[in-house]
C-alpha cells in the first residue's frame, strides 16, 4: 500500500512501502523529509498548511505508475550512505511557481525604458539652454536682443571746446559752441538713441579747486572730478522722475580720468530711459557725456555707449 505523506511546507507525496523510514529532500522547499514508517512510527501526521482551492490534494498523483517512476529514480542512490532520495512531486504547478513567472514586459525592460526617456528629456533641456545662451536670448522685462553689432564710428571734433569724440557714421550729428559765452557741445541722434557731450556750468566752478589738488594723498571720492560727477547727479535727480544711478567708477580715456555711472529715469508718462553718463574736467570746462535710449533697448546698445565714451579725447 503506498505511503502518503507531506512536507511541513504543505507539499504532498506518495511512495511505495519499501522506502519507509528513508530520508530525502523536499522538491518544493528543499528541507530534509523523513518518509514515515507506518509499522514503527506513532508520530501523527503533520497538519497541512491551508492552500488555495486549486492546490487541493490530487488523487491522480498517487497512481501506481508514478511509484514505479519514483522507484527507478532512487534505486541507484541507495548504494551511498546518507544520500538524499528524490521524490516525485504531485502533478500541477504550485501557486509559488506560477507567480514567479510574471506575464507581460519584464521589470528590467520597463526600468530601462523609463531611464532612457529621462536621458532624452534632460539632453533636450540642456541643448535648449545652450541654444538660448548662444543666440543672445531675450532680455527679461524688455524682450530686446542682446549685444547688437556696434556701427562704424567716425571722429567728431570741437576745436573751440578742445575735445573729440567718436559717433556712429551717418547719424544726425551736430557740434558747436565754445565762444560768445556758449558752452561747447556735440550731439548725435538716431531714432530713439541720443548721444551728447555738453558742458555743465554749475560743476565748472570746481575747476578752481582742482588746480591745487593733491591727488597722491586723497581718496577717490575727494577728487574734483568725482565731486563734479555727484553735483551733476543732484541736478538730474531734480530734473527727472524716478532717477537712479549706480555708484561712480573710475574711467580713463585719452582726455584724462573721469567718472562713469549707469542710470535709469522716467521721461514722459510711460517712457523709461536707461543709459551711461560720464564726467570729465579740463582746464576750462566740466564736460558731461550722456548716452541714452529706451530702457528695453539698453542691452543691445550698451556696447556702443561704452565705445563712444572710451573714444573721448582732446
Residue 148 lies in a domain: no
290 and 228 inside one domain: yes
DSSP-derived 3-state class of residue 141: coil
* Ranges assigned E (strand) in 152-212: 153-158, 163-168, 172-176, 185-190, 193-199
111 and 36 inside one domain: no
Residue 159 lies in a domain: yes
pLDDT at 3: 83
pLDDT at 77: 44
Question: Which is nearest to 264 in space by CA: 272, 252, 256?
Answer: 272
168 and 273 inside one domain: yes
Residue 75 lies in a domain: yes
Contact 206, 227 (CB under 8 A): yes
Q: Which residue has the cell 529706451?
A: 294
Residue 144 lies in a domain: no
Alpha carbon of residue 178 to chain centroid: 56
Residue 143 lies in a domain: no
* Alpha carbon distance 85, 76 (integer Å): 10
11 CB neighbour count, 10 Å cutoff: 22
84 and 107 inside one domain: no
What does pTM read for this prediction?
0.53
163 and 303 inside one domain: yes
CATH code of the domain in which 240 resides: 3.40.1000.10
174 and 258 inside one domain: yes
pLDDT at 197: 96
pLDDT at 126: 53
188 and 259 inside one domain: yes
DSSP category for residue 184: P
Residue 140 lies in a domain: no
85 and 198 inside one domain: no
Residue 125 lies in a domain: yes
**Residue 189 — left, alpha, or beta (φ > 0 → left; ψ -120 to 50 → alpha)?**
beta
Q: Which residue has the cell 523510514?
A: 21
Count of domains forming the chain: 3
Q: What is the pLDDT along the chain (314 residues), one digit of tens a residue?
A: 788 888 888 888 888 888 888 878 888 887 888 888 877 655 555 555 555 444 444 444 333 334 444 444 444 444 444 444 444 444 444 444 444 444 555 666 677 677 777 666 666 555 444 443 443 333 333 444 456 788 999 999 999 888 999 999 999 999 999 888 788 999 999 999 999 999 887 666 665 555 555 566 677 788 888 988 998 999 899 988 899 999 999 999 999 999 999 999 998 777 899 999 999 988 788 899 999 999 999 999 999 999 999 999 98
Domain that holds residue 120: 102-135
> What backbone torsions phi and psi does residue 14 show, to the nearest 5 degrees?
-140, 120
160 and 227 inside one domain: yes
281 and 172 inside one domain: yes
DSSP-derived 3-state class of residue 67: helix
Residue ranges of alpha helices (H) inside the chain are 64-74, 95-99, 107-135, 201-204, 207-210, 224-239, 298-310
- In this structure, are strands 193-199 and 286-294 parallel, antiparallel, or unpaired? antiparallel
95 and 108 inside one domain: no
* Alpha carbon distance 313, 121 (integer Å): 54
pLDDT at 84: 45
> What backbone torsions phi and psi does residue 18 show, to the nearest 5 degrees?
-65, -15
Residue 145 lies in a domain: no
Q: Is 31 exposed, middle or buried (0-12, 13-18, 19+ CB in 10 A)?
A: exposed
45 and 160 inside one domain: no
Identify the H or E element spanning 291.
strand 286-294
85 CB neighbour count, 10 Å cutoff: 18
> What backbone torsions phi and psi does residue 20 show, to the nearest 5 degrees?
-60, 135
Amino acid at each position: 500500500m503506498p505511503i502518503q505523506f507531506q512536507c511541513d511546507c504543505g507539499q504532498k507525496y506518495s511512495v511505495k512501502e519499501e522506502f519507509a523510514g528513508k530520508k530525502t529532500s523536499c522538491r518544493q522547499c528543499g528541507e530534509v523529509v523523513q518518509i514515515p514508517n507506518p509499522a514503527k512510527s506513532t508520530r501523527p501526521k503533520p497538519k497541512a498548511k491551508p492552500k488555495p482551492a486549486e492546490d487541493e490534494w490530487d488523487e491522480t498523483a498517487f497512481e501506481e505508475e508514478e511509484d514505479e517512476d519514483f522507484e527507478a529514480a532512487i534505486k541507484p542512490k541507495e548504494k551511498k550512505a546518507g544520500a538524499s532520495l528524490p521524490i516525485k512531486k504531485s502533478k500541477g504547478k504550485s501557486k509559488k511557481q506560477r507567480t514567479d513567472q510574471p506575464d507581460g514586459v519584464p521589470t528590467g525592460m520597463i526600468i530601462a525604458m523609463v531611464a532612457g526617456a529621462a536621458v532624452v528629456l534632460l539632453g533636450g533641456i540642456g541643448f535648449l539652454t545652450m541654444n538660448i545662451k548662444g543666440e543672445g536670448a531675450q532680455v527679461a522685462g524688455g524682450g530686446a536682443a542682446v549685444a547688437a553689432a556696434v556701427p562704424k564710428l567716425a571722429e567728431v571734433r570741437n576745436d573751440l571746446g578742445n575735445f573729440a569724440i567718436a559717433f556712429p557714421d551717418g547719424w544726425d550729428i551736430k557740434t558747436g559752441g565754445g565762444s560768445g559765452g556758449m558752452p561747447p557741445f556735440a550731439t548725435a541722434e538716431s531714432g530713439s538713441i541720443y548721444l551728447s557731450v555738453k558742458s555743465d556750468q554749475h560743476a565748472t566752478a570746481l575747476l578752481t579747486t582742482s588746480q591745487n589738488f593733491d591727488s597722491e594723498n586723497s581718496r577717490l571720492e575727494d577728487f574734483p572730478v568725482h565731486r563734479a560727477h555727484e553735483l551733476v547727479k543732484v541736478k538730474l535727480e531734480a530734473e527727472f522722475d524716478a532717477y537712479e544711478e549706480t555708484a561712480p567708477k573710475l574711467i580713463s580715456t585719452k582726455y584724462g580720468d573721469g567718472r562713469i555711472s549707469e542710470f535709469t529715469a522716467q521721461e514722459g508718462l510711460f517712457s523709461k530711459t536707461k543709459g551711461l553718463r560720464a564726467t570729465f574736467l579740463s582746464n576750462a570746462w566740466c564736460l558731461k557725456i550722456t548716452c541714452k535710449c529706451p530702457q528695453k533697448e539698453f542691452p543691445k546698445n550698451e556696447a556702443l555707449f561704452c565705445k563712444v565714451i572710451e573714444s573721448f579725447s582732446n
